[in-house]
Structure 1
Amino acid sequence: MKDEIKIRKQIYLEPKQNEQIKLLSARQNKTEAQIIREAINHYLTENKKELDDPILELIGMVKNETCDGSTNHDQDIYLKKNEDTHETR
């Protein structure tokens, strides 16, 4: 992850969170940013199932030129491949 381009985000921490991050940073000999990124990675791993929700694929469908999303949403969400079921798109 060191060589990857990183995106800057500005967040507000509670004073207790800030103290704990500083403490972990010193004890683990890591930067505060590393501690925060590791915490975010842990959170995202724990919530992976929610991230994989097929309903999220509807986001941006307009860009994909889907114009019948409101009438054929079940097929668009759940039938990615024709071999998924006997039904066709």
Structure 2
Amino acid sequence: MALLEISVAPIGTTQTSMSHFVTNAIRLAEKEGFKYHVGPTSTVFEGDVDELFELARDIHTGALKNGSDRVVTNIKIEDREDNALTIDGQVNEVKRSIG
């Protein structure tokens, strides 16, 4: 299990809101069965690393197909061999550390 953090910046659109790009990405991920967490500037998805790379590609190209002339996509992948990574596990670990 791995985590993908993705942030897509569409450029050349007719509006300043990006929520419809996020909504399209979430719908795509839900259709494929990915667990996710939407943050204020990025979204984190949980899954198999190879499938996460495919999802990142599909989100990027989806932004191009859905009204953007140019797209800048930033991704981070976290993958471990010694432990399974989950969104809940990572968040709970920080909460335990805080007290």
What's the TM-score, normalizing by structure 2?
0.24
Compare relative contact order (CA 8 Å, sep 6+) and give the higher one, 1 or 2: 2
What's the TM-score, normalizing by structure 1?
0.26
Larger helix share, 1 or 2: 1
